[in-house]
Amino acid sequence: MAASPNLGVPVAPPVLSPRQVALILFALAMGGFAIGTSEFVVMGLISEIARGLGVTEPQVGHVISAYALGVVVGAPLLAILGAKLPRRTLLLALMGFYALGNVASALAPGYHSLMLARFVAGLPHGAYFGIAALVAARISPPEQRGAAVGRVMLGLSISLLVGNPLATWLGQNFGWRWSFAVVSVIALATVAMTMRVLPPGMHAPRPDALRELRDFNRKPVWLALGIGAIGFAGMFCVFSYLTPTLVHVTGVRESFVPFGLIAFGIGGIIGTLAGGWLFDRLQFRAAAVVLVWSVIVLLLFPLAAKSPWTVLPVVLAVGTMGALATVLQAHLMDVAAEAQTLAAASNHSAFNAANALGPWLGGMAITAGYGWTSTGFVGAATAVAGLLVFAWAWREQRPSRLALRECE
C-alpha cells in the first residue's frame, strides 16, 4: 500500500477484473502502435520523402533524428510538467497531442517544416510510454511486472510488423503524407478507448519535485539510461537505412521493402516478449544477454545483406534487439526509488537518443564512402560500448548485491 500525497493514508489501485486489465493493456498498447507506426514509417519511406521534398536520403535521416530529439527533450519535460495530473488525464493529453503532431507532419510544406513537425510529434512519445508502463505495472502482480511492461511495448513491436509495412505501402502508392494522417486517426481512437476502459484512480502517490529530482539524479539511473542511449543505437543505425540497403545492396525492388519491414516487426514482437521473460528470470543481467546477442547479429548484417534469402532472417534478428527496451524499462522501476515517473519517461529519451545517434553515425559512415552495409559494423561498435556501460553499472551494484546475500 502506498501513502496518499494529499491525505497521508494508504491507498491502493482500483480492484480490476482480468478482463479489465486486458482491456487497459490493449488500450495502452494501441497508443504504442500509433507511436511506433509514426516513428518508424519515415525509415520505410525514406526514398519517397527524399524525392517528394527534393532532398537526399541521408538528409531524410536527419528528419528521423529530429523526431528522436523531440522524444529526448519531451520525455523528462512533460513528465515533470504533468506531475500533478492523474495518470489517466496525462495519458489522454499526451496521445491527443501526438495526434496533432502527426497532422502537422502530414501538412508540412517543406523539408525544414517537416523536421519541425517531427520534433513536435516526438515530444509526447517518451512520457506516454513511461506513464503507460507504470500503469501496467500498477495493475499487475509484482512478479509479472516485466511481462506487463512487455505487453504495453508489444504495441510498438506490432506496429513494426503491421503498421509500418502498411503505412509504407500506403505512402508508396498514395503519397507519404497519408501515412501520418492515418496515424492521427489511430491516436484519436486510442484516446477514445482509453477514456472508456481506464478508470480514475490510477495516479500513484508522487513525491515532491525536489525529492523526485534527487532520486533521479543517481548513478544507477543514469547508467541504465546510458546503456539504452548507446547500446541500442545499432538497431536504429541499421534500420534507418534498411530501405536503400535492400535496394542498392541486396538488389531488390522497392516493392520488396515491406517484406523487410515485416521481418523486422516479427523480430520486434519476439524481442519484446523475450525481454519481459528474460527480466522476470535474470533481472538486470538480461541487459547483458541482449547486448551480446546484438553484437553478433549486427556483425552478420553486412554479409547477409548481399542476398534476399539471408537478409530477411538477419533483419528479423536485428528486430529482436528491442528486448533491451523492456529489460531497461523494468530495471528502472527497481533503481529509480521515488523518481518512477521521471525515470520511466526518460528511458524513452535514452532510446531516442540512440535513435538520433544511430542514423547520424550510420549517415556519416555512408557519406564517407564505406557503403550502406557499414551500418552493421557501426551498430556493433555501439552495442559493445553499451556492454561497457553495463559492466560499469553491474560493478556499481556489487555492494548492494553483497548486502542482500548477507541478509539472506
CATH classification of the domain holding 371: 1.20.1250.20
Question: Which residue(s) pair with 3 in the sheet?
Answer: 10
Task: Give pLDDT, residue 3.
Answer: 41
Q: How many Å apart are CA 240 and CA 43, to the nearest integer?
A: 5
Query: By 3-state DSSP, what share of the chain in percent is helix, strand and coil, each rounded to 5?
Result: 85, 0, 15
Task: Give pLDDT, residue 14.
Answer: 59
DSSP alpha helix (H) spans, 305-396:
308-319, 323-335, 340-365, 374-396
The answer to whether 121 touches 38, Cβ cutoff 8 Å, is yes
Question: Is residue 2 included in any domain, yes or no?
Answer: no
Task: Give pLDDT, residue 354.
Answer: 87
Question: Is residue 10 included in any domain, yes or no?
Answer: no
Question: Is residue 337 included in any domain, yes or no?
Answer: yes
Question: Is residue 287 included in any domain, yes or no?
Answer: yes
Q: Which helix (H) or strand (E) holds 80?
A: helix 57-81
Q: How many Å apart are CA 147 and CA 161, to the nearest integer?
A: 20
Question: Is residue 242 included in any domain, yes or no?
Answer: yes
Residues of the chain with pLDDT under 70: 1-16, 83, 141-146, 201-212, 338, 398-408
Q: How many Å apart are CA 277 and CA 174, to the nearest integer?
A: 40
Task: Give pLDDT, residue 208.
Answer: 59
Task: Give pLDDT, residue 201.
Answer: 66
The answer to whether 109 touches 96, Cβ cutoff 8 Å, is no
User: By residue range, what is the domain housing residue 73?
Assistant: 15-407
Task: Give pLDDT, residue 10.
Answer: 41
Q: Strands 2-3 and 10-11, how do they pair?
A: antiparallel
Amino acid, single-letter form, for residue 189: A
pLDDT tens for 80-91 read: 777 677 878 888
Task: Give pLDDT, residue 100.
Answer: 93
Question: Is residue 6 included in any domain, yes or no?
Answer: no
Q: Which helix (H) or strand (E) holds 400?
A: helix 398-407
Q: Which helix (H) or strand (E) holds 3?
A: strand 2-3
272 to 148, 264, 319: CA distances (angstroms): 11, 12, 9
Question: Is residue 389 included in any domain, yes or no?
Answer: yes
Q: How many Å apart are CA 195 and CA 301, to the nearest integer?
A: 43
Q: How many Å apart are CA 234 and CA 252, to the nearest integer?
A: 23
Look up cell 497532422; give the residue: 103
Sign for the CA dihedral angle at 246, 177, 354, 324 comes to negative
Domain count of the fold of the chain: 1
Question: Is residue 5 included in any domain, yes or no?
Answer: no
